[in-house]
Amino acid sequence: MSHKRERIKYYDTLRFLAILGIIILHISQVFHGADLIGDRIYSLSEITRFAVPVFLMMTGALLLNRDIELGDFFKRRFIRIILPFILFLIIHRIVIYIIGVYYDPSYLGKVFKHPFSYNWYFWLIVGVYFFIPILNKVVQNSTMKELEYFVLVILAGSLFYQIMLYLHMVHSIDLSFFIGPISFVVLGYYLSIKEFDISVNKIITIALLIFIVTSVLKMGGQLNLPFDLFHDYQATKSKIIKSSLDLAFVQLLQAGSLFVMIKYIHQSTSGIYSKIRQVFENSIVNRFITSVSKASYGMYLMNNTFRLVFELLLAGVVLSKPSAILLWIATIVFILIVSWLIVIVISKVPYLGKWSGYH
């Protein structure tokens, strides 16, 4: 029985944007001290904070409401994430060892220290995969109204936690069944099947406005403007919710609006949005986006290693505004292209194809 399905174009576009967002976030950490009116570069990266949530939303869109046979599911899914994790973990440790030997001895202690701390997303997705077969049964036996109830509790619960934290109010309400990585998984599945009763271009415009507003609010939180309610990770500072994932209400809206926007841009047939769709569907652009999408998991596992290298290369370097911006952009493009090419090369090496993360 073949498990191959026709690729959905907007899924590839979302994965492309998600891996680009991850690279921007990590490289922005390297430029955190750049002389760009304080830490504006890092604050700008809030625009791409949707990255991990979108990857989780894609998990829901791709895996929920499917016929799942437990043995086959765990065999296929865990092989796809574990083998690349092992390969890039080894590469990561080798790079740290080289850095320690030749550049910075303090890195040597990191070679074997905290082996389970490498790439928190891998450990998060392992937990999600364990729950997918159970969640899948819930989804398969749920009406659209019941699914919307689930999404409503996710949104309301996240907002509740964030407000309670902002007001420093103590409570004992535990909504952890709804508020966690599974929030984005369910939201992604829901938005993948939801059809709205307004025109495509109006949906895109509304989603774009939500995305802009939530991104500005998130940047304001980083800059300690009067938007502190929307600061990153606020919802995860609860005694109940512990996660490196941003589960804040604004983050749910930002990621969800991007998902809807890209989904419907690929359906637009008129106006400026149809022009954007034509760019996405240009043969060269489409092949590049699809290939990066296929390589995105391996690229995700690899990009933090690049971050360590650039941290070393740029240590102590004071950058002015124009040079900081140019180097920031150049570094992002470099890592995007090089990590993509490395994953493709590994995928073509005999016996290493399954270890590349290219699928």
Residue 37 has pLDDT above 50, yes or no: no
Cβ–Cβ < 8 Å for 226, 220: yes
Give 230-248 pLDDT, tens digit per residue. 555 455 666 666 677 888 8
What's the CA gap between 150 and 180, in Å, rounded?
A: 13
Q: Looking at residues 40-58, what average pLDDT do you find?
A: 87
- The residue type of 211 is F
pLDDT for 95 = 85
Q: Pick the range with the lowest mean pLDDT from 3-7, 171-175, 253-257, 317-321.
A: 3-7
pLDDT for 33 = 54
Give 68-127 pLDDT, tens digit per residue. 999 999 988 999 999 999 999 989 888 888 877 666 676 666 656 665 567 889 999 999
Give the H/E segment covering residue 343. helix 321-348
Residue 39 has pLDDT above 60, yes or no: no
pLDDT for 3 = 43
**125 phi and psi, to 5 degrees?**
-70, -30
pLDDT for 225 = 56
Give 154-208 pLDDT, tens digit per residue. 999 988 888 887 777 888 888 888 988 999 999 999 999 999 999 999 999 999 9
Cβ–Cβ < 8 Å for 128, 63: no
What's the CA gap between 107 and 138, in Å, rounded?
A: 46
